C-alpha cells in the first residue's frame, strides 16, 4: 500500500523510513519512539482514566509537555471511541502540540482495567503513541505497525512475563525490527 506523496526508503543503517513530498524522512523504528524512561511495568491503576493519567505522567516530563495537556489529548481521543483493541491491549494515541517527532510510552498494569475494549476484556498492556499535530500518514502507519506487533500472542505473553522495563523495551524493539526485515 502506498500513499500519495509518501514512499518507503531504507536508511544507511537499515532502519525503515518514509519520505514525504519534501524529502523529509520519519522513522518507523519503535526504538526511536520509545525511550527507556517511557516504559513502566507493574503499575497500579484502578480505572481507564488512571491508566491514561499514568501514561501522561510518564510522557509529560519526557516530552517537555505538561502532563495535564497529554492527559487532555488522550481523553479527547478516547471520547471518540475506545482504543482498547482486544486481547488485553490498549493503543491510546493523540496528537500533541509541541512534538516534532513520533514518541511513545509503554506500560504494563499490575491488574487489568476496564478499557471499553472491542472484546470487552480488561486491558493490562498499553502502548501509547503521540504524534506532532500535523502528522498524518506517519501516525497511521505507526499505529498499524504497533497493532500488528501486539496482535501476536507470543509478544503479549513475553511482555506480561518481563521483569523490568528495559526487558520490555528491548523485546518491543527487537520484535519490531525483526518484523520489519
At 78, which CATH number? 3.40.930.10
Instruction: State residue 10's pLDDT score.
Output: 34
Bridge partners, 26 (sequence order): 18
Q: Is 25 inside a domain boundary?
A: no
**Residue 58 is assigned to a structural domain of this protein:** yes
Q: Which domain holds residue 101?
A: 30-180
* Domain annotation covers residue 10: no
Range 18-27 average pLDDT: 40
List beta partners, residue 19. Answer: 7, 25
Task: List C-alpha distances in Å: 76 to 6, 163, 172.
Answer: 28, 32, 27
Residue 5 pLDDT > 70, yes or no?
no
Q: Which residues pair with 109 in a beta bridge?
A: 43
What integer is the mean pLDDT of 131-138?
87
Q: Residue 175 — pLDDT band, cuts 50, 70, 90?
A: confident
pLDDT-derived band at 28 (thresholds 50, 70, 90) equals: low
Is position 171 within any domain?
yes
Q: Residue 110 falls within a domain, yes or no?
A: yes
Q: Active-site residue among 41, 93, 139, 158?
A: 93
The cell 490498549 sits on which residue? Answer: 90
Listed in sequence order, the residues at least 6 apart from 58 whose beta carbon sits closer than 8 Å to its beta carbon are 37, 38, 40, 105, 107
C-beta of residue 160 within 8 angstroms of C-beta of residue 108: yes
What domain count does the chain have?
Answer: 1
The reported pLDDT for the residue numbered 136 is 76
* Domain-located, residue 16: no
41 is catalytic: no
Residue 172 belongs to some domain of the structure = yes
- DSSP codes of every residue in 74-131: HHHHHHHS--EEETTEE--EEEETT--S-EEEEEEEEEEE----TTS--EEEEEEEEE
In a domain, 19, yes or no: no
Phi and psi for 106 in degrees, rounded to 5? -125, 135
Amino acid at each position: 500500500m502506498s500513499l500519495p506523496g509518501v514512499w518507503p526508503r531504507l536508511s544507511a543503517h537499515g532502519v525503515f523510513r518514509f519520505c514525504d513530498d519534501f524529502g523529509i524522512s520519519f522513522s518507523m523504528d519503535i526504538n526511536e519512539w520509545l525511550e527507556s524512561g517511557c516504559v513502566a511495568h507493574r503499575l497500579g491503576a484502578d480505572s481507564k482514566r488512571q491508566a491514561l493519567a499514568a501514561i501522561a505522567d510518564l510522557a509529560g516530563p519526557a516530552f517537555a509537555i505538561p502532563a495535564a495537556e497529554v492527559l487532555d489529548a488522550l481523553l479527547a481521543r478516547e471520547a471518540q471511541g475506545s482504543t482498547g483493541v482486544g486481547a488485553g491491549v490498549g493503543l491510546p494515541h493523540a496528537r500533541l502540540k509541541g512534538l516534532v517527532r513520533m514518541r511513545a510510552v509503554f506500560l504494563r498494569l499490575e491488574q487489568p482495567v476496564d478499557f471499553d475494549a472491542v472484546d470487552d476484556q480488561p486491558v493490562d498492556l498499553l502502548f501509547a503513541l503521540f504524534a506532532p499535530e500535523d502528522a498524518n500518514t506517519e501516525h497511521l502507519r505507526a499505529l498499524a505497525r504497533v497493532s500488528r506487533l501486539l496482535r501476536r500472542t507470543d509478544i503479549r505473553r513475553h511482555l506480561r512475563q518481563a521483569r523490568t522495563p528495559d526487558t520490555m523495551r528491548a523485546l518491543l524493539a527487537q520484535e519490531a525490527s525483526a518484523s520489519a526485515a
